[in-house]
């Protein structure tokens, strides 16, 4: 029997090969571990909650979205190259403890930057107790550097995130109502000045912000600043912005409706959709990031009518194609109005309970009138809609019209305040106040 032997130098080669293979194997394991660890550390929004349509106001349960008051560049970078996360981290630490999903507003203003090229007093503005100048950034490169760091800190990718971050930010809004440049009076009597500049300058800010956000977090979505409304003077600012192909630099279209009444029950959705269509942007999702009814601080003379308006207009706007509604905390959320606003809060909570999680909506019957005044929208007379969820269907009806044939037999009928009864479909009486019907 022949015994094979290996010469000494061959033994040495074998040992070297084993060492190399071992190093490669161990390196691969370490790399895989790092990849797995990075994946495990990545934070994501829960898809079901992310798709919801109504914002969280007060302590409403099963509502998750909130629009932040925003952050100024100068709050994070008070001097060139000096970063202080205290102000922005404070916002996130509070909101993430409440499991809220945030639409975060960015204001590209730092006084040390503004003073380079905006010495004129026309740029001066006041936000609370803060005195700040509100022109286009003088150093756009420095602004983009700041924005990249801001997005990186809260994107939840496990890289340079805020310590203790639990809920990432995936939606960013670039400024607020830039057409409001002084002289316009807001809901509580303050002069509104959010920006001083041309539509072309706003477009430059939007474009630079979009590119920076997408480069930092490709999963993020960007909204242009909310249009203050659909009045013609506001459209005159935004027409040039949209004509510059701004649609390439935002993912979600954004409009506001303030002081809403029965002449604008569609929450400006019809006018806004036409505006987007004119600029070949009809496919963009629509968020209404400020929805406010009546007077901001004054209790309405007829609370029941107010509640009907809130519920009907919310359903009407969603059925027309709005994807999300963010409510301004109206008079009934203020401490001295809590008891008087209890019925309104019940109406809103019921609305959230019934339709916040819908996946699609079908129009059965709809009758409305478009009103003529510049500040008006549409008034709804008949609304019949079918909101579809994974495991159920909720119908919403109002107005003098026959019920659709698919509503028959015993059904559950709920009024706007959440009071339910099971009755025969033939006994349903429709009127101005919406009712929710489930088979």
Summarised one tens digit per residue, pLDDT across range 345-362 is: 999 999 999 999 999 999
Q: Measured between alpha carbons, how far is 211 from 218 in angstroms, rounded to an integer?
A: 10
For the beta carbon of residue 396, count every other beta carbon within 10 angstroms.
27
Summarised one tens digit per residue, pLDDT across range 64-90 is: 999 988 999 999 999 999 999 999 999
**Average pLDDT of the residues in 190-205:** 95
Q: Measured between alpha carbons, how far is 90 from 71 in angstroms, rounded to an integer?
A: 11
pTM as predicted:
0.89
Summarised one tens digit per residue, pLDDT across range 234-250 is: 999 999 999 999 999 99
What pLDDT does 41 receive?
78
Please check whether residue 228 is in contact with residue 177, taking contact to mean a CB–CB distance below 8 angstroms.
Answer: yes
According to the CATH classification, is domain 49-358 in 3.20.20.80? yes
For the beta carbon of residue 54, count every other beta carbon within 10 angstroms.
23
Q: What is the CA radius of gyration of the chain?
A: 27
172 forms beta bridges with 104, 222
Locate the domains of the chain by residue range: 49-358
- Structure token pair of residue 260: 């809403």
Name the nearest CA neighbour of 352 among 294, 398, 416.
416
Name the nearest CA neighbour of 433 among 360, 351, 356, 377.
351
- What distance separates the 2 farthest-apart alpha carbons in the chain? 110
Please check whether residue 146 is in contact with residue 78, taking contact to mean a CB–CB distance below 8 angstroms.
Answer: no
User: Which range among 4-13, 124-133, 249-258, 414-423 shows the weakest confidence by mean pLDDT?
Assistant: 4-13
Q: Measured between alpha carbons, how far is 68 from 60 in angstroms, rounded to an integer?
A: 17
């Amino acid at each position: 029997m022949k015994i094979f032997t290996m010469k000494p130098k061959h033994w040495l080669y074998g040992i070297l090969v084993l060492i190399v293979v071992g190093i490669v194997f161990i390196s691969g394991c370490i790399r895989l571990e790092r990849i797995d660890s990075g994946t495990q550390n990545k934070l994501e929004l829960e898809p079901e909650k992310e798709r919801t349509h109504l914002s969280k106001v007060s302590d409403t349960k099963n509502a998750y979205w909130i629009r932040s008051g925003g952050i100024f560049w100068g709050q994070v970078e008070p001097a060139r190259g000096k970063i202080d996360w205290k102000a922005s981290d404070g916002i996130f630490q509070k909101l993430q403890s409440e499991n809220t999903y945030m639409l975060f507003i960015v204001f590209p203003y730092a006084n040390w930057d503004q003073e380079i090229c905006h010495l004129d007093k026309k740029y001066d503005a006041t936000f609370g107790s803060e005195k700040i100048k509100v022109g286009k950034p003088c150093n756009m490169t420095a602004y983009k550097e700041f924005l990249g760091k801001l997005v990186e800190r809260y994107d939840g990718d496990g890289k340079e995130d805020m310590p203790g971050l639990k809920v990432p930010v995936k939606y960013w809004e670039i400024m607020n109502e830039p057409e409001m440049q002084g002289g316009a009076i807001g809901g509580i009597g303050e002069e509104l000045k959010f920006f001083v500049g041309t539509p072309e300058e706003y477009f430059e800010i939007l474009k630079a912000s979009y590119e920076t956000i997408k480069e930092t977090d490709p999963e993020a979505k960007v909204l242009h600043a909310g249009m203050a409304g659909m009045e013609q003077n506001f459209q005159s600012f935004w027409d040039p912005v949209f004509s510059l192909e701004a649609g390439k630099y935002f993912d979600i279209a954004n409009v506001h409706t303030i002081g809403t009444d029965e002449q604008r029950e569609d929450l400006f959705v019809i006018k806004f959709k036409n505006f987007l269509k004119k600029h070949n942007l009809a496919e963009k999702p629509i968020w209404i990031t400020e929805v406010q009814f009546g007077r901001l601080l004054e209790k309405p003379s007829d609370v029941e009518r107010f509640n009907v308006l809130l519920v009907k207009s919310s359903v009407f706007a969603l059925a027309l194609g709005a994807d999300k509604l963010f409510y301004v905390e109206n008079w009934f959320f203020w401490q001295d109005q809590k008891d008087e606003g209890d019925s309104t809060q019940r109406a809103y909570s019921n609305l959230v309970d019934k339709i916040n999680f819908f996946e699609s909506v079908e129009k059965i019957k709809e009758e409305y009138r478009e009103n003529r005044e510049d500040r008006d929208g549409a008034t709804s007379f008949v609304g019949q809609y079918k909101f579809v969820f994974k495991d159920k269907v909720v119908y919403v009806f109002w107005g003098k019209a026959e019920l659709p044939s698919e509503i028959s037999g015993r059904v559950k009928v709920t009024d706007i305040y959440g009071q339910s009864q099971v009755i025969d479909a033939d006994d349903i009486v429709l009127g101005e106040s919406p009712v929710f019907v489930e088979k």
